[in-house]
């Protein structure tokens, strides 16, 4: 008898079978009963007659129950334990307060929400291949089978109930059969005869499968990446569940159908659950794996963003749906989910005034063609429209203004994407947006009006073509002509001359200049400033004439 087996274990099965990886304890015991020619009721009776109870058998049975089952089946206690839901303790579940000797203790496990409910989900193709029911199918956070790339099925099409929906026994009367076997309520012999392997599952989308891959990794205890930073598996699953809950509540608001097609699938589930306060998705998510998987994928897409800025850009479109209540937007949002530290950062950032600006720009018609927007706003337009708009330096504001104009382009979904469209370093774009967003002095509507005025005053110049021409013309020919008219100019000043033409004539940003083969260093920038201060009015005129080329050809 294996070590740890209880002394009251008087029964031993003649044939043994080891639980397969991921197999649930009820599936294993049903196969074990079939192997030994016994009914499932007989196996449960053997366990009880050996002195153990079967309370919480599938969740986290008592140690003496685990020892008894291990002794009867002639397997190790660790193998029995691994077949229960306790294998997810510390990741998807917190079983700290579960007491196998107190049936009421499960309430503390169910209270935080998203706990295993009645029955289980299935993958029909998995059952067809091996006849094995997976423990993870009982977790609401699991929605698809990556092996077969389909959604799990939650309800039997014949009896219209969850699979394994039986209240009085952990094991099915039909045993290891792949028939449904749910009681039909017309006497103990009446069971649903639906063949589970005949059920056709719905294919899962790529984003759902990608999310399921991250969930599976977390269920195995892997370290996860959230907002670009490593976190524990439990922390990731905690954030994912509560963010999905928030999105589900926001999906019930007017206008949500414009953000995602899956929100329409919430209607029937919400109607059946609605009470005075509406459906409580934080306690029990939608039963439909299609809706649940889409909400989880949307939440995971936010958490998997490279940084807080990209994540809040994605969340802001949802938080704009927050209804008006006496508690205010933040009060409503906090009341409809658990505000973990990660969610608190996200929600506060998404509701910040500057985030509302980016959301406004995202939903605006393009203020100007992208080719008409230089990297840096001309100084005269800054002085005319925005000198009093920010508590930031003029150069920073000039850059942020052009980024705001470019953000209205449909391709500019984030500040980093906006920077890329303008040919700017993406990290520079993100830093600039953060700096100016924090220093905005005007109400958003006033700033929006000024941006429209700036767009109307932009010269119709194809700045992208100007930039291409300057990059192509960065040879020594024009610089030698300039040096010939400016005695004493050193050959080492050529990068500074190129940078001057780039920043003053093409209104480009110094970080993107073609003057150097690498981003300008602090020494390069210092040398450029010294060179610029040393230019006379005549020198500037000569550089404009010789280095600028035919600017009229760039007008559109």
Domain match, 172 and 210 both: no
HEC sequence for 33-61: HHHCCCCHHHHHHHHHHCCCCCCCCCCCC
Q: What pLDDT does residue 2 have?
A: 43
Q: How far apart are the first and last CA of the chain?
A: 89
Cα 436 from Cα 424, distance rounded (Å): 17
CB atoms within 10 A of CB 255: 10
Cα 407 from Cα 151, distance rounded (Å): 37
Q: Which two tokens stand for residue 352?
A: 């910040």
Q: What pLDDT does residue 476 have?
A: 67
For residue 426, the number of C-alpha atoms closer than 13 Å in the C-beta half-sphere is 12
Domain match, 497 and 442 both: no
Give the number of domains in the chain: 4
Domain match, 132 and 243 both: no
Helices 328-335 and 341-351, packing angle to 10 deg: 150
Q: What pLDDT does residue 363 have?
A: 80
Strand, helix or coil at 20?
A: coil
Q: What pLDDT does residue 482 have?
A: 83
Do the Cβ atoms of 76 and 82 come closer than 8 Å? no
Tell me which of 439, 460, 481 is where a domain ends. Answer: 460
**Nearest residue to 247 via CA among 204, 290, 292, 283:** 292
Domain match, 375 and 413 both: yes
Q: Which two tokens stand for residue 228?
A: 């670009």
Domain match, 41 and 181 both: yes
φ, ψ (nearest 5 deg) of residue 162: -60, 150
Tell me which of 445, 460, 475 is where a domain ends. Answer: 460
Cα 330 from Cα 321, distance rounded (Å): 12
For residue 343, the number of C-alpha atoms closer than 13 Å in the C-beta half-sphere is 25
Q: Could you tell me which residues are beta bridge partners of residue 165?
A: none
Outline where 220-352 has alpha helix (H): 233-250, 266-273, 289-303, 308-319, 328-335, 341-351
CA dihedral 238, 241, 244, 248 (to 10 degrees): -130
Helices 341-351 and 233-250, packing angle to 10 deg: 40
20: left (phi over 0), alpha (psi -120 to 50) or beta: beta
Tell me which of 200, 224, 253 is where a domain ends. Answer: 200
Which H or E element spans position 231?
A: strand 229-231
- Regions of the chain with pLDDT less than 70: 1-10, 186-188, 271-278, 353-355, 474-476, 547-556
For 85-104, write each residue's pLDDT tens digit: 999 999 999 999 899 888 88
Domain match, 181 and 221 both: no
Domain match, 295 and 435 both: no
The range of the structural domain enclosing residue 278 comes to 206-351
Q: Which long-range contacts (CB under 8 A, 24 or more apart) does 31-35 make?
A: 31/131, 31/132, 31/176, 32/73, 33/171, 33/175, 33/176, 34/175, 34/176
Q: Which two tokens stand for residue 430?
A: 């993100």
Cα 192 from Cα 536, distance rounded (Å): 93
**Nearest residue to 89 via CA among 137, 139, 154, 132:** 139
Domain match, 162 and 13 both: yes
**Residue whose token pair is 């000024």:** 450
**Nearest residue to 515 via CA among 492, 543, 545, 542:** 492
**Residue whose token pair is 């506060």:** 348
Strand, helix or coil at 536?
A: coil
Domain match, 540 and 518 both: yes
Domain match, 326 and 368 both: no
Domain match, 129 and 179 both: yes
Domain match, 453 and 472 both: no
């Amino acid at each position: 008898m294996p070590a740890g087996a209880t002394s009251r274990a008087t029964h031993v099965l003649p044939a043994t079978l080891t639980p397969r990886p991921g197999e649930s304890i009820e599936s294993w015991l049903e196969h074990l009963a079939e192997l030994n020619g016994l009914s499932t009721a007989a196996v449960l009776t053997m366990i009880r007659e050996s002195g153990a109870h079967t309370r919480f058998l599938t969740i986290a049975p008592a140690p003496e129950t685990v020892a008894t089952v291990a002794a009867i089946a002639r397997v190790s206690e660790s193998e029995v334990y691994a077949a229960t839901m306790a294998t997810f303790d510390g990741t998807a579940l917190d079983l700290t307060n579960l007491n196998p000797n107190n049936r009421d203790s499960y309430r503390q496990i169910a209270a935080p929400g998203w706990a295993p409910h009645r029955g289980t989900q299935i993958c029909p193709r998995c059952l067809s291949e091996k006849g094995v029911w997976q423990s993870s199918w009982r977790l609401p956070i699991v929605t698809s089978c990556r092996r077969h790339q389909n959604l799990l099925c939650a309800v039997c099409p014949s009896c219209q109930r969850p699979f394994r929906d039986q209240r009085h026994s952990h094991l099915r009367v039909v045993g290891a059969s792949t028939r449904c076997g749910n009681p039909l309520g017309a006497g103990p012999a009446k069971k649903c005869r639906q063949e589970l392997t005949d059920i056709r599952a719905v294919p899962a989308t790529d984003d759902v499968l990608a999310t399921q891959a991250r969930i599976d990794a977390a269920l195995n205890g892997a370290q996860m990446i959230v907002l670009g930073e490593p976190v524990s598996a439990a922390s990731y699953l905690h954030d994912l569940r509560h963010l999905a809950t928030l999105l589900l509540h926001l999906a019930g608001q007017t206008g949500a159908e414009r953000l995602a097609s899956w929100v329409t699938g919430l209607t029937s589930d919400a109607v059946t659950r609605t009470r005075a306060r509406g459906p409580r998705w934080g306690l029990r998510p939608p039963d439909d794996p299609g809706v649940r998987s889409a909400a989880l994928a949307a939440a995971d897409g936010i958490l998997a963003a490279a940084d807080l800025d990209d994540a809040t850009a994605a969340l802001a479109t949802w938080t704009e749906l927050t209804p008006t209540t006496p508690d205010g937007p933040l009060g409503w949002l906090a009341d409809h989910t658990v505000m973990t530290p990660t969610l608190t950062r996200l929600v506060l950032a998404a509701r910040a005034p500057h985030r509302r600006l980016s959301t406004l720009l995202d939903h605006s018609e393009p203020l100007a063609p992208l080719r008409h927007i230089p990297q840096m706003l001309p100084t005269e337009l800054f002085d005319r429209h925005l000198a009093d708009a920010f508590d930031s330096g003029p150069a920073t504001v000039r850059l942020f203004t052009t980024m705001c104009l470019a953000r209205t382009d449909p391709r500019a979904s984030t500040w980093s994407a906006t920077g890329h469209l303008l040919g700017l370093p993406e990290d520079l774009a993100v830093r600039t947006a953060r700096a100016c967003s924090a220093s905005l002095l005007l109400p958003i509507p006033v700033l929006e009006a000024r941006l429209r005025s700036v767009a109307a005053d932009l010269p119709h110049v194809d700045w992208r073509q100007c930039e291409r021409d300057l990059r192509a013309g960065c040879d020594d020919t024009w610089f030698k002509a300039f040096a010939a008219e400016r005695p004493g100019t050193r050959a080492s000043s050529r990068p500074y001359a190129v940078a001057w033409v780039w920043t003053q004539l093409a209104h480009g940003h110094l970080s993107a200049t073609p003057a150097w083969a690498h981003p300008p260093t602090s020494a390069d920038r210092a040398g450029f400033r010294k060179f610029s201060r040393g230019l006379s009015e005549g020198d500037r005129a000569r550089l404009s004439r010789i280095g600028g080329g035919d600017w009229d050809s760039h007008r559109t």
